[in-house]
């Protein structure tokens, strides 16, 4: 699946036209391809096409013609009085064919009988929140009982960012011209798009564009994760220090360590609160567990820093955060790790939260990666979870710039940003929405970093393998997605990584 931003698609489109391919030829192939997908997937007897005033509406007219040709009873609502250019030509053909064109007054009846509603209202040309009458039409489409298929982009979704400024269509399927639009794989646009499919519209390779934001697949990662080769010993195979857990939170530490072990670490050291060490040592047969100084609540104390820095000297990477707890002492501990550790550091969970307002991360020059979910990133940025959820790519970019590090923003569309580089992960499942999966992810990324992979690549490869492990679990067990628990991922991490060889 190819993913391009709206701007990149516009460039591919312009270049194609400069090579002499007329706009109407591109529109023709787009509409023909889109109609074929609709016929194959939905096989409707009656369809309603809602067409806007731009080229997205033009695609809708071609789709209507093709559905009509296939024997579907089609009604078309054109929102504009007068059409010119390629959409105008295609509307004229519909008139000549006697395809039923309806006005707003007949919309409710059309929506009531249609088996598929085709959203051809707004595409990549939308600017700002939908105005009337578009906004009202979007509301009507969302209230329809029939499934909605969006052409190119669900109307109202920003194809560049995935942001939704006002209202937006909720489609079950989005059929894009040439490439899936970036805004359809980033939340919340992603949820509005439903399934994403792209159809070939005849853009020649000479006109194609390399995306600035990568859609991370096995293909873009292949060869990145090295095999263990002779000469090797456990230290050369990747040494990771995990700083995690507290008296009341031992599971997080266990899952980070296990994730790291299955992702190929030669040796994992765990530093944890003294009172948690005995039970973790018993559960983690292969790890080297150290109990360090803790406060009265059973969380690692700032006085543990010296021991932790000493352990870190033997490690090629450090993961800090899961289950460590909050408060001033944890903040001092995390700041101390950022100051004192030269090896790549991954900050997750509580370690991200305690850094709100701190300058330690921005000051650090050695490699670092933070792996927050929207809530944690909202605290780090001081903007709140809602702002992050509404503007995910921009928020991740802002944090990466302010903190001068790699940012992995978790979610259904895990986003990884560092400097100018950005990527969106292609694997995963809603099954991952369960406690502890983030800890497994930290372990995987930490392991890859300990094996010498730079943090941006470790983050995107780790996210990919983590999501792929969930997919493999679903395929293998056939169990309901609600039943996945985080440790189910562990046996599938090696299989996922093998797919990257
Ligand atoms: N070009 C090509 O070769 C190909 C392009 N392709 C297709 O074209 C699509 C892009 O077409 P596009 O650029 O014409 O823009 P499009 O998405 O139809 O929107 C423009 C219309 O929306 C309106 N409008 C804007 N903002 C609004 C708002 N906030 N609220 C309400 N209305 C608003 C705007 O109205 P205006 O602002 O002019 O009053 C205008 O009427 C692309 O997604 C793909 O489907 C394919 O056929 C392949 C070849
Ligand atoms: N709806 C979803 N679809 C796909 N992946 C999801 C979804 N919800 C959460 N995830 C993934 O699950 C993991 C959850 O991590 P996190 O929120 O840190 O949980 P925890 O702290 O309990 O381990 C992240 O990798 C995230 O990307
Ligand atoms: K649309």
Q: Which helix (H) or strand (E) holds 120?
A: strand 116-120
Alpha carbon of 121 to ligand 1 centroid (Å): 8
Percent of the residues in the chain that have a pLDDT greater than 70, as a whole number:
100
Give dist(CA 231, CA 237) in Å, integer: 10
Query: Where among 211, 235, 262 does a domain terminate?
Result: 211
Pocket of ligand 1 (CB under 6 A): 13, 23, 26-27, 30, 52-59, 122-131, 134, 151-153, 177, 201
Other Cβ atoms closer than 10 A to 207: 18
Can you tell me the mean pLDDT for 37-65?
Answer: 98
Could you tell me the two tokens for 89?
């030509």
Confidence band, pLDDT 50/70/90 cuts, at residue 19: very high
Cα 491–Cα 495–Cα 501 angle in degrees, nearest 5: 150
Query: Where among 168, 195, 211 does a domain terminate?
Result: 211
- Is the pTM value of this prediction over 0.90? yes
Ligand 2: which of 433, 443, 496 to mutate, most ligand atoms within 8 Å of CB? 433
pLDDT on residue 471: 98
Tell me: pLDDT of 236 over 90.
no
87 and 224 belong to one structural domain: no
295 and 192 belong to one structural domain: no
Answer yes or no: is the C-beta of 28 below 6 A from any ligand 2 atom.
Answer: no
ipTM computed for the complex: 0.96
Q: Is 123 annotated as a binding residue?
A: yes
199 and 331 belong to one structural domain: no
Using alpha carbons, select from 76, 70, 46 the residue that is nearest to residue 146. 46
pLDDT on residue 81: 94
228 and 149 belong to one structural domain: no
Using alpha carbons, select from 66, 70, 113 the residue that is nearest to residue 90. 66
Q: Which ligand 2 atom minimizes the distance to the CA of 255?
A: 23
Q: Which ligand 2 atom minimizes the distance to the CA of 434?
A: 22
Give dist(CA 217, CA 427) in Å, integer: 8
Ligand 2: which of 376, 438, 474 to mutate, most ligand atoms within 8 Å of CB? 438
Answer yes or no: is the C-beta of 411 below 6 A from any ligand 2 atom.
Answer: yes
Alpha carbon nearest to ligand 1 atom 13, residue: 125
Number of domain units in the chain: 2
Give Cα 148 distance to the centre of its chain: 23
pLDDT on residue 444: 98
Mean pLDDT over the full length of the chain: 97
Tell me: pLDDT of 227 over 90.
no
pLDDT on residue 234: 86
Tell me: pLDDT of 496 over 90.
yes
Ligand 1: which of 63, 125, 139, 149 to mutate, most ligand atoms within 8 Å of CB? 125
Could you tell me the two tokens for 59?
């695609």
Give dist(CA 33, CA 79) in Å, integer: 23
38 and 101 belong to one structural domain: yes
pLDDT digits (tens, 9 = 90+) for 361-393: 999 999 999 999 999 999 999 999 999 999 999
Can you tell me the mean pLDDT for 38-61?
Answer: 98
Answer yes or no: is the C-beta of 412 below 6 A from any ligand 2 atom.
Answer: yes
Q: Is 57 annotated as a binding residue?
A: yes
State the residue range of the domain holding 146. 3-211
Three-state DSSP state, 325: coil
Give Cα 220 distance to the centre of its chain: 15
Question: Which residues on neighbouring strands pair with residue 415, listed in sequence order?
Answer: 409, 424
266 and 193 belong to one structural domain: no
Q: Is 155 annotated as a binding residue?
A: yes
DSSP letters, 220-265, are: HHTT-SPPP-SS--TTTT-EEEEE--BTTB-HHHHHHHHHHHHTT-
Query: Where among 211, 237, 266 does a domain terminate?
Result: 211
pLDDT digits (tens, 9 = 90+) for 161-184: 999 999 999 999 999 999 999 999
110 and 92 belong to one structural domain: yes
361 and 487 belong to one structural domain: yes
Alpha carbon of 57 to ligand 1 centroid (Å): 7
Write down the H helix ranges in 43-113: 55-69, 85-97, 107-113
Alpha carbon of 152 to ligand 1 centroid (Å): 10
207 and 294 belong to one structural domain: no
Ligand with the closest atom to the CA of 251: 2
Cis peptide, bond prior to residue 231, ω within 30 of zero: yes
Tell me: pLDDT of 232 over 90.
no
Give dist(CA 66, CA 39) in Å, integer: 9
pLDDT digits (tens, 9 = 90+) for 67-110: 999 999 999 999 999 999 999 999 999 999 999 999 999 999 99
Answer yes or no: is the C-beta of 437 below 6 A from any ligand 2 atom.
Answer: yes
DSSP letters, 122-141, are: --TT--SSPPTTHHHHHHHH
Could you tell me the two tokens for 344?
């790549």
CA-CA distances (angstroms) from residue 270 to 306, 327, 340, 369? Answer: 15, 21, 17, 19
pLDDT on residue 108: 97
pLDDT digits (tens, 9 = 90+) for 118-162: 999 999 999 999 999 999 999 999 999 999 999 999 999 999 999
Q: Is 202 annotated as a binding residue?
A: no
Q: Is 323 annotated as a binding residue?
A: yes
Alpha carbon nearest to ligand 2 atom 18, residue: 438
Ligand 2: which of 351, 370, 410, 427 to mutate, most ligand atoms within 8 Å of CB? 410
pLDDT digits (tens, 9 = 90+) for 329-359: 999 999 999 999 999 999 999 999 999 999 9
Kindly report which listed range (234-238, 430-434, 458-462) carries the lowest average pLDDT score: 234-238
Give Cα 47 distance to the centre of its chain: 32
Answer yes or no: is the C-beta of 373 below 6 A from any ligand 2 atom.
Answer: yes
Can you tell me the mean pLDDT for 471-498?
Answer: 98
CATH at 202: 3.40.50.10260
Give dist(CA 245, CA 252) in Å, integer: 6
Using alpha carbons, select from 38, 89, 104, 41 the residue that is nearest to residue 68. 38
pLDDT on residue 235: 84
Alpha carbon of 73 to ligand 2 centroid (Å): 44
Q: Which ligand 1 atom minimizes the distance to the CA of 151?
A: 45
Give dist(CA 96, CA 113) in Å, integer: 24
Alpha carbon of 398 to ligand 2 centroid (Å): 21
125 and 26 belong to one structural domain: yes
Alpha carbon of 252 to ligand 2 centroid (Å): 14
Tell me: pLDDT of 59 over 90.
yes
Alpha carbon of 15 to ligand 3 centroid (Å): 23
206 and 223 belong to one structural domain: no
pLDDT digits (tens, 9 = 90+) for 395-436: 999 999 999 999 999 999 999 999 999 999 999 999 999 999
CATH at 457: 3.40.1190.20
200 and 226 belong to one structural domain: no
Q: Is 295 annotated as a binding residue?
A: no
């Amino acid at each position: 699946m190819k993913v391009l931003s709206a701007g990149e698609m516009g460039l591919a489109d312009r270049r194609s036209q400069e090579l002499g391919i007329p706009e109407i030829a591109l529109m023709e192939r787009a509409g023909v391809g889109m109609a074929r997908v609709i016929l194959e997937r939905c096989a409707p007897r009656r369809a309603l096409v809602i067409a806007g005033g731009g080229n997205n509406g033009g695609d809708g007219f071609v789709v209507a013609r093709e559905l009509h040709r296939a024997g579907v009873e089609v009604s078309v609502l054109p929102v504009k009085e007068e059409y010119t250019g390629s959409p105008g030509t295609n509307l004229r053909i519909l008139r000549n064919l006697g395809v039923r064109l309806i006005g707003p007054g007949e919309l409710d009846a059309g929506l009531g009988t249609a088996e598929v509603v085709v959203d051809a209202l707004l595409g990549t040309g939308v600017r700002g929140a939908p105005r009337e009458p578009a906004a009202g039409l979007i509301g009507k489409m969302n209230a329809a009982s029939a499934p909605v298929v969006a052409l190119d982009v669900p109307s109202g979704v920003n194809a560049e960012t995935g942001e939704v400024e006002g209202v937006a269509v909720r489609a079950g399927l989005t059929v894009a011209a040439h490439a899936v639009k970036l805004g359809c794989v980033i939340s919340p646009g992603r949820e509005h798009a439903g399934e994403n499919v792209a159809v070939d519209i005849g853009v020649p390779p000479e006109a194609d564009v390399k995306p600035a934001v990568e859609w991370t697949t096995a293909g873009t990662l292949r060869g990145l994760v090295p095999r263990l080769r002779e000469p090797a010993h456990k230290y050369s195979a990747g040494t990771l220090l995990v700083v995690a857990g507290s008296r009341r939170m031992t599971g997080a530490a266990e899952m980070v360590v296990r994730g790291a072990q299955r992702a190929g670490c030669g040796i994992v050291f765990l530093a944890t609160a003294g009172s948690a060490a005995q039970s973790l040592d018993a559960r983690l047969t292969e790890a080297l567990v150290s109990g360090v100084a803790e406060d009265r609540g059973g969380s690692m104390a700032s006085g543990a820093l010296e021991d932790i820095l000493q352990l870190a000297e033997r490690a090629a990477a450090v993961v800090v955060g899961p289950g460590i707890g909050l408060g001033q002492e944890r903040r001092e501990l995390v700041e101390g790790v950022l100051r004192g550790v030269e090896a790549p550091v991954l900050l997750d969970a509580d370690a991200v939260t305690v850094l709100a307002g701190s300058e330690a991360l921005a000051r650090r020059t050695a490699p670092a990666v933070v792996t927050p979910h929207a809530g944690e990133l909202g605290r780090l940025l001081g903007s709140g979870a809602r702002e992050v959820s509404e503007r995910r790519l921009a928020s991740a970019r802002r944090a990466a710039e302010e903190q001068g590090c790699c940012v992995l923003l978790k979610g259904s569309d895990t986003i990884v940003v560092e400097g100018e580089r950005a990527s969106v992960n292609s694997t995963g499942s809603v099954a991952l929405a369960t406690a502890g999966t983030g800890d497994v992810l930290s372990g995987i990324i930490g392991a890859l970093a300990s094996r010498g992979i730079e943090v941006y690549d470790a983050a995107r490869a780790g996210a990919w393998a983590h999501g792929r492990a969930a997919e493999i679990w679903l395929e293998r067990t056939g169990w309901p997605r609600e039943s996945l628990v985080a440790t189910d991922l562990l046996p599938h991490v090696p299989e996922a990584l093998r797919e990257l060889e």
